[in-house]
């Protein structure tokens, strides 16, 4: 099973439980699926297709690349548990 298939299945079967928690913000499986779909649509509209490699830049890495890291490191990210 591909990751996208697992995400769609989780969003269909259990759309509202927490899927991820990042910097105090909880996202449901439905929200994760919808964000992935919007990102994929934006990539397609800019010419990306299946099998293409695209760079990603998580928001906290902007600070790391600029040398603005704190002694605490990047914001915590963990899979939600229910």
The answer on pLDDT for 74 being more than 80 is no
For residue 61, pLDDT beyond 80: no
Identify which of 78, 64, 62, 82 has the alpha carbon closest to the alpha carbon of residue 23: 78
Average pLDDT of the segment spanning 23-42: 89
pLDDT band at 72 (very low <50, low <70, confident <90, very high): low
Structural domain for 63, as ranges: 3-79
How crowded is residue 58: how many other Cβ atoms within 10 Å of its Cβ?
11
Task: Determine the Cα–Cα distance for residues 82 and 76; give it in Å rounded to an integer.
Answer: 18
b/e 8-23 (16+ beta carbons within 10 angstroms → b): eebbeeeeeeebeeee
Q: Please count the structural domains in the chain.
A: 1
Q: What is the pTM of this model?
A: 0.61
Question: Are 29 and 17 in contact, with CB atoms under 8 Å apart?
Answer: yes
């Amino acid at each position: 099973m591909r990751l996208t298939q697992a995400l769609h299945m989780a969003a269909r079967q259990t759309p509202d439980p927490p899927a991820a928690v990042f910097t105090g913000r909880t996202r449901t499986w439905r929200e994760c699926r919808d964000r992935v779909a919007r990102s994929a649509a934006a990539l397609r509209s800019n010419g990306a297709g299946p099998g293409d490699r695209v760079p990603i830049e998580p928001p906290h890495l902007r600070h790391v690349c600029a040398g603005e890291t704190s002694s605490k490191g990047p914001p915590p990210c963990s899979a939600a548990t229910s």
